[in-house]
Amino acid sequence: MRVEWTSYNSPIGPLTVVECEAGPLVVEFPTRALSVKWAVRLRAAVPELHIGQGTCPQTTGWLDEYFAGSPRPFPYPEHLRRWFDLSPAQVAVFKTLRKIPLGETRSYDDVARATGLHPRQIGWLVSANHLAILIPCHRVVGKDGGLVGYGGGLTRKRWLLDHELRAAGVVLR
């Protein structure tokens, strides 16, 4: 079994990308990628795993389209269950995040209502997302609409939200 990884140069800085044959496994900012310990987690799932540097064409292609302002729909990656020990709550939250349209936001309370979980659980589960941008945790905001918490930092979160508004045709002033 083989997965590949690459460093992707994005407008918001480098991203660590890891991909298996079925699709993306990790899209993360380098400092968070170290703390996620993705290689250890993947080898725990598949001990005979070979991890090599590559191009990660599915994921980098999607990211290219996203940053160009015309992302194609990204379905929830069901293959993650094979690689990571995801709880039913994580899956529910990640699937809910996938439903937030490009250029829109939802509060932690909104996500909590949609999943039947407590808002504090939502914060913890959102922060456990290791597919930055693809599972759009940057679209989750505070109850008052303010920017709160993002593994890549609030400056990057603001940039991503502004980028999505521009892609959706909203004029920013």
Contact predicate 89/97, CB 8 Å: no
Per annotation, catalytic residue among 132, 137, 141, 160: 137
What phi and psi values does residue 26 have, to the nearest 5 degrees? -145, 135
Distances (CA, A) of 108 to 90, 91, 95, 145: 14, 16, 14, 10
Taking alpha carbons only, the member of 92, 84, 103, 85 closest to residue 141 is 103
Known active-site residue 137: yes
Return the structure tokens found at 7.
């460093």
Which residue is associated with the tokens 């690689």?
83
Which residue is associated with the tokens 């400092």?
31
Q: What is the DSSP annotation of 16-43?
A: EEEEETTEEEEEE-HHHHHHHTHHHHHH
Specify the DSSP class assigned to residue 139. G
Q: Which residues are catalytic?
A: 137
